[in-house]
């Protein structure tokens, strides 16, 4: 057995590891329910699932190492063939239609595989600290870990699937787990409602996705990547209108999953779930599924350029980019007024995902216009941003979880278990926590900087790439409609700077706003470890950038260390030949200025401030706190007019989207539902009941003919023979 095959085998086992572990956890949890078993941690499954995720991480690392060593291009490998369809034939095909599950590994899936398994592992680790120390979770943590593991196998499977059908199946598995986990505290009405909302909203997208896939099947006669990407078998001309429709419908599915405008309403509410869930599902991995789906469409778009398809798919790319631009802007705006720490992060997630969508839109646009180099760069930048964002946002959520956890404990400590009327997530209750939570505050600062795009830190490299590419598409290549997302992204960059800084300063700088905030202190080592790891991961963006991460994820080039090249490229807008493009130079510095100067400074002047006397923050963040104090003293201004204006109110009401959807539901969907229920009860049930009683009486009547007397049977044989002969005779 060659080493190559063995790697493929290991890849195939990855999704099955968590899938096989989850029943064990469920079983042990039920079996030892209410009993002490060695240690509660073991009973509740955290350690078992951590081991399982550890195996996944090791396998993934092996595969990544192998990939870097050999630079595979896309490879498909069928491991299970279940049914070979013959009935549904497609004229363009020579082979039978296959519904097997296979493994497909290329640079995109490998990157996502690594992100997913790495973050799953860390967040699992974090959950052991977060979930197991809370009394409210007693005797149900096994459910959490079991659902967590199915989710992981869904994500890993989706990334590895070699056709859209299995991708869709795993996609739905994730949707189910998301529902279950958001509603983990099902006894809370708000959590139950949020779970339902998330499930139903994403379901809207999924229905479109399914229709899109059906159209794809209609076009290609298969959902295999090989066939759709034109690598095999398929040579017939494709109806471009149909293909466009299919792609747009599939994109709507992605919009639902990744919480983009107008199907974004579920994500903020989804924060009702336990914080590790928010970190994992609603920031780091599941919401990336939509991005993955769009990134998977890339070869279809290149098909238009290299002659594989006759026609132009640029319209689809423009739609994707515009949706991204609108969402980025809108979400950033709403994040301005949120006081719940997790909701700020939720809107930030939405906004950052929108960046990636816009970047992908630019990539697809270039691809369909026949500019593969630019397209690959934009794709690489988007995927790099996906990587950076996943790492940073996963960490931010865990850090916010840490804050909430400690706030909660502090409050518990003060009020002796009275939880009524206190919101541990509300930032207006916090303030000045920098001295109490040194590691958390450092991690949060690093994560925020990465999201903002402070130069040299993680997200900067990728965000700059995305903005540059969408502008490039808009200016030089005549995609005038692309100016909309281009401008919106630029503004959003500044807005990101504001709302992320606002969150940090409201939480960590200034004086404690409540008594509770004074009693906070860091406890659990389980919580700290992932934060530290991810801080390095986030700050290490510069290393990844210089390793040519962008080229690596887009094409699979061999990567090499070239910091100077990346620096020149990023800061001086220099192209390959060393020519500086002035438009992009201006653009670059405008972005940097907006995001890392104006935004944060405004936030500092409004929400910054020194700590209470005698408190000292850890050196990594104390400079930040002091700086904010200086800025606040110097430039403080009154924003109450703006804060009380109608716009702010509209933002607080989330731009009335939820109200609008509610109104539609009540006015339109509910009456239809009532009508359908009536119809179901009267007409359909009536018919079914009729059939039931009819067949029962028919059964009784028929069985009466079986008299039990052989004489009658023989007569029946005789009659039957006569009838049979008559029928045959009659046919001749």
Residues that bind other proteins (CB under 8 A): 81-84, 86-87, 89, 94-96, 695-696, 698-700, 702-703, 705-706, 708, 710, 712-714, 716-717, 719-721, 723-725, 727-729, 731-732
Residue number, 86 or 613, with CB nearest to other proteins: 86
Residue number, 669 or 698, with CB nearest to other proteins: 698
Residue number, 640 or 709, with CB nearest to other proteins: 709
Question: Distance (Å, rounded) from C-alpha 449 to C-alpha 585?
Answer: 22
Distance of CA 348 to the CA centre of its chain: 13
**Minimum distance, C-beta of residue 700 to other proteins, in the bound complex (Å):** 6
537, 454 contact by CB (below 8 A):
no
**Minimum distance, C-beta of residue 501 to other proteins, in the bound complex (Å):** 55
Residue number, 373 or 712, with CB nearest to other proteins: 712
**Minimum distance, C-beta of residue 377 to other proteins, in the bound complex (Å):** 43
Residue number, 100 or 299, with CB nearest to other proteins: 100
Long-range contacts of 477-484 (CB under 8 A, 24+ apart): 477/365, 477/366, 477/369, 477/371, 479/314, 479/318, 479/365, 481/318, 481/322, 482/318, 482/321, 482/322, 482/361, 482/362, 482/365, 484/322, 484/325, 484/326
Of 567, 606, 568, 572, give the one whose Cα is nearest residue 587: 572
Q: What is the dihedral of CA 68, 368, 224, 65, to 10 degrees?
A: 10
Residue number, 668 or 698, with CB nearest to other proteins: 698
- For 308, the token pair is 């594989």
Q: Interhelix angle for 459-476 vs 372-415, to 10°?
A: 140
**Minimum distance, C-beta of residue 92 to other proteins, in the bound complex (Å):** 12
Strand duo 75-80 + 101-105: pairing:
antiparallel
Helices (H), 594-684: 599-607, 619-635, 640-643, 646-652, 657-664, 670-679
Of 461, 609, 435, give the one whose Cα is nearest residue 517: 435
3-state secondary structure of 24: helix
CA distances from residue 198 to 96, 206, 619, 704 in whole angstroms, order as listed: 38, 12, 41, 55
**Minimum distance, C-beta of residue 81 to other proteins, in the bound complex (Å):** 8
Question: Distance (Å, rounded) from C-alpha 336 to C-alpha 542?
Answer: 29
DSSP state of 521: -
Residue number, 98 or 338, with CB nearest to other proteins: 98
**Minimum distance, C-beta of residue 680 to other proteins, in the bound complex (Å):** 18
**Minimum distance, C-beta of residue 203 to other proteins, in the bound complex (Å):** 24
Question: Distance (Å, rounded) from C-alpha 290 to C-alpha 445?
Answer: 28
**Minimum distance, C-beta of residue 218 to other proteins, in the bound complex (Å):** 10
Residue number, 478 or 690, with CB nearest to other proteins: 690
Question: Distance (Å, rounded) from C-alpha 212 to C-alpha 250?
Answer: 5
Residue number, 416 or 703, with CB nearest to other proteins: 703
**Minimum distance, C-beta of residue 494 to other proteins, in the bound complex (Å):** 54
Cα R_g (the chain), whole angstroms: 29
**Minimum distance, C-beta of residue 100 to other proteins, in the bound complex (Å):** 12
Residue number, 416 or 704, with CB nearest to other proteins: 704
**Minimum distance, C-beta of residue 175 to other proteins, in the bound complex (Å):** 22
Residue number, 91 or 613, with CB nearest to other proteins: 91
384, 108 contact by CB (below 8 A):
no
Residue number, 223 or 537, with CB nearest to other proteins: 223
- For 511, the token pair is 């004086």
Question: Distance (Å, rounded) from C-alpha 423 to C-alpha 400?
Answer: 14
Residue number, 227 or 283, with CB nearest to other proteins: 227
**Minimum distance, C-beta of residue 726 to other proteins, in the bound complex (Å):** 9
Residue number, 659 or 712, with CB nearest to other proteins: 712
Distance between the two ends of the chain, CA-based, in angstroms? 64
**Minimum distance, C-beta of residue 233 to other proteins, in the bound complex (Å):** 12
**Minimum distance, C-beta of residue 730 to other proteins, in the bound complex (Å):** 8
Residue 564, classified by CB atoms within 10 Å of its CB into exposed (0-12), middle (13-18) or buried (19+), is exposed
CA distances from residue 650 to 602, 657, 659 in whole angstroms, order as listed: 21, 10, 11
- For 670, the token pair is 């509910």
């Amino acid at each position: 057995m060659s080493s190559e095959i063995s790697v493929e085998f290991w890849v195939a086992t990855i999704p099955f590891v968590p899938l096989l572990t989850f029943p064990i956890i469920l079983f042990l949890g039920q079996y030892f329910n209410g009993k002490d078993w060695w240690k509660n941690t073991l009973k509740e499954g955290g350690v078992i699932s951590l081991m399982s995720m550890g195996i996944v991480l090791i396998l993934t690392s092996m595969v990544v190492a192998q990939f870097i060593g050999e630079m595979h291009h896309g490879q498909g490998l069928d491991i299970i063939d279940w049914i070979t369809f013959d009935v549904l034939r497609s004229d363009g095909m020579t082979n039978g239609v296959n519904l097997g599950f296979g493994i497909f590994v290329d640079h995109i899936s490998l990157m996502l595989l690594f992100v997913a398994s790495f973050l799953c592992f860390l967040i699992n680790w974090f959950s052991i600290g977060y979930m197991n120390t809370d009394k409210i979770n007693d005797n149900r943590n096994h459910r959490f870990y079991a659902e967590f593991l199915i989710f992981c196998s869904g994500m890993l499977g989706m990334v590895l699937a070699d056709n859209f059908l299995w991708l869709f199946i795993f996609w739905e598995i994730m949707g189910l787990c998301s529902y279950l986990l958001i509603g983990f505290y099902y006894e809370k009405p708000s959590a139950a409602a949020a779970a339902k909302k998330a499930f139903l909203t994403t379901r809207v997208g999924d229905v479109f996705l399914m229709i899109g896939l059906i159209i794809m099947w209609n076009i290609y006669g298969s959902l295999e990547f090989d066939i759709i990407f034109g690598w095999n078998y398929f040579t017939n001309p494709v109806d471009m209108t149909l293909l466009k429709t299919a792609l747009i419908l599939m994109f709507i599915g992605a919009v639902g999953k990744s919480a983009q405008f107008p199907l974004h309403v579920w994500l903020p509410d989804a924060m009702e779930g336990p914080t590790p869930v928010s970190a994992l599902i609603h920031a780091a991995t599941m919401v990336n599924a939509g991005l993955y789906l769009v990134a998977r469409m890339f070869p279809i778009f290149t098909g238009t350029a290299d002659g594989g398809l006759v026609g132009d798919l640029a319209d689809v790319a423009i739609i994707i980019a515009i949706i991204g631009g609108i969402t980025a802007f809108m979400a950033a705006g709403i994040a301005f007024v949120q006081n719940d720490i997790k909701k700020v992060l939720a809107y930030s997630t939405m906004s950052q995902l929108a960046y990636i969508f816009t970047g992908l839109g630019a990539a697809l646009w270039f691809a369909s216009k026949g500019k593969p180099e630019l397209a690959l760069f934009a794709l690489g930048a988007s995927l790099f941003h996906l990587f950076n964002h996943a790492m940073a946002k996963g960490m931010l959520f865990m850090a916010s979880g840490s804050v909430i956890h400690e706030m909660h404990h502090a409050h518990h400590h003060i009020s002796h278990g009275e939880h009524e009327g206190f919101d541990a997530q509300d930032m207006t209750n916090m303030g000045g926590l920098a001295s109490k939570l040194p590691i958390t505050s450092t991690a949060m600062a690093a994560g925020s900087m990465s999201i903002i795009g402070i130069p040299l830190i993680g997200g900067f490299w990728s965000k700059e790439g995305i903005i540059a590419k969408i502008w490039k598409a808009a200016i030089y290549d005549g995609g005038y409609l692309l100016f909309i997302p281009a401008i919106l992204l630029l503004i959003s960059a500044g807005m990101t700077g504001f709302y992320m800084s606002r969150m940090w300063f409201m939480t960590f700088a200034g004086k404690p706003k409540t008594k509770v905030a004074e009693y906070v202190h860091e406890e659990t080592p389980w919580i700290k470890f992932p934060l530290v790891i991810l801080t390095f991961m986030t700050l290490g963006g510069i290393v990844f950038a210089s390793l040519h991460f962008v080229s690596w994820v887009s094409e699979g080039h061999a990567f090499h260390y070239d910091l100077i090249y990346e620096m020149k490229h990023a800061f001086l807008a220099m192209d390959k030949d060393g020519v500086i493009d002035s438009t992009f130079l201006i653009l670059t510095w405008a972005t940097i200025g907006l995001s890392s100067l104006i935004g944060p400074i405004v936030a500092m002047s409004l929400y910054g401030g020194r700590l209470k006397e005698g408190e000292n923050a850890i050196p990594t963040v104390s400079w930040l706190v002091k700086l904010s104090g200086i800025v606040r003293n110097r430039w403080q201004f009154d924003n109450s007019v703006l804060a009380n204006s109608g716009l702010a109110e509209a933002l607080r009401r989330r731009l009335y989207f939820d109200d609008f959807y509610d109104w539609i539901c009540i006015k339109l969907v509910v009456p239809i539902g009532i009508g359908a229920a009536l119809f179901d009860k009267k007409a359909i049930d009536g018919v079914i009941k009729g059939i039931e009683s009819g067949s029962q009486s028919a059964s009784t009547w028929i069985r009466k003919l079986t008299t039990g007397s052989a004489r009658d049977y023989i007569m029946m044989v005789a009659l039957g023979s006569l009838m049979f002969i008559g029928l045959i005779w009659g046919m001749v």
